Amino acid sequence: MISGDLLREARRRAGLSQAELARRACKPTSVIGRWERDEVKPSFETLRELIEACGFDLRVSLADHDQSQDAAIEASLDLTPEERFARLEAWAAFLAEARKSAA
Partner 1 sequence: MTVEGPRLFRPGPMLEALEAESVAYIVIGGTAAAIGGARHVTFDLDITPDRNVANLDRLATALRKLNGHLYGMPAAAEDSFQLDGKTLAAGSAWKFLTDHGELDISLDPDGTRGYKDLRSGAIETQAHGVTFLVASLEDVIRSKEAANRPRDREALPELRRTLELKRRRER
**Would you tell me which residues interact with partner 1 (CB under 8 A)?**
1-2, 5, 9, 12-13, 15, 66, 69-70, 72-74, 76-77, 79, 81-82, 84-89, 91-93, 95-96, 98-99
CA distances for 11 relative to 2, 21, 46, 63, 76, angstroms: 15, 7, 14, 26, 29
Residue with smaller CB distance to partner 1, 5 or 28: 5
| Residue 28 neighbours by CB distance under 10 Å | 11
Residue with smaller CB distance to partner 1, 45 or 65: 65
Cβ proximity of 11 and 54 under 8 Å: yes
Q: Least distance from C-beta 85 to partner 1, angstroms?
A: 5
Q: Least distance from C-beta 26 to partner 1, angstroms?
A: 27
Residue with smaller CB distance to partner 1, 28 or 38: 38
- CB-based burial of residue 21 (10 Å sphere; 0-12 exposed, 13-18 middle, 19+ buried)? buried
